[in-house]
Amino acid sequence: MNIPRSALGLVLAAALAGLAGCGSGGEPTSEAPPAETSAAETTAAEPEATAEETASWAASEPAEEAPAEEIVITIRNFEYEMPDSVPAGAEITVINEDTAPHTVTTTETEDFDAIVGGGETTTFTAPSEPGDYPFICTYHPNMTGTLTVSSDG
C-alpha cells in the first residue's frame, strides 16, 4: 500500500496541531496548580464550648454500663481452664487451642453439650439452676471438669 508523502505529511501535521491545541499555551512549569479552598477555610470558626457548658453536658449524659465480663473455658493441652463459678444462664465461650476436637458435655444431665473443633471457638448457655455440673470430653473421656453455676448474676 503506497500512501503519497503529501497525504502522510498532512495527517502528521493535523495530529501535531491537535496536540498543540491541548497544551496550556504558556511556559511549562513544575508548580502544582493552586489547591481549591476547603469548606473549613471558607466558613467562620464556630465558638468552642466553655468548660462550664462541657461539664453540664457531661453530667446530663447517662453513664454507659460496663460490658459484662466474658466467661471463657479454654481447652489447652487436653485440659480445661475455667472460672471457679459462672452465673446461672450466662453465655460461656469455649476456646479450643488444641488441634483435636473436644466437647464440654454434662455427664449427669443433658444441660449442655458444646462441640468445638480444633482451633475453633463455640458458645453455650449455662444451666439456669445453680449447682455443680460434672462434664467430660466425649472424644477424650479422661478430660473432666465441673461447671459450678451460682445464683448471683
Question: What domains does the chain contain, in order, with CATH numbers?
Answer: 71-150 (2.60.40.420)
Q: Which sign, positive or negative, has the C-alpha torsion 58, 60, 64, 65?
A: positive
What are the pLDDT tens digits along the chain (153 aa)? 555 555 555 555 555 555 555 555 545 555 555 555 544 444 455 555 555 554 444 444 444 554 568 999 999 999 999 999 999 999 999 999 999 999 999 998 899 999 999 999 999 999 999 999 999 999 999 999 999 999 875
Phi-psi region of 4 (alpha: psi -120 to 50; beta: other; left: phi over 0): beta
Q: Which residue has the cell 444451666?
A: 127
Quote the pTM value.
0.56
Terminal CA-CA length for the chain: 93
Side-chain half-sphere CA neighbours of 127 within 13 A: 21
User: 59-83 pLDDT, tens per residue?
Assistant: 444 445 545 689 999 999 999 999 9
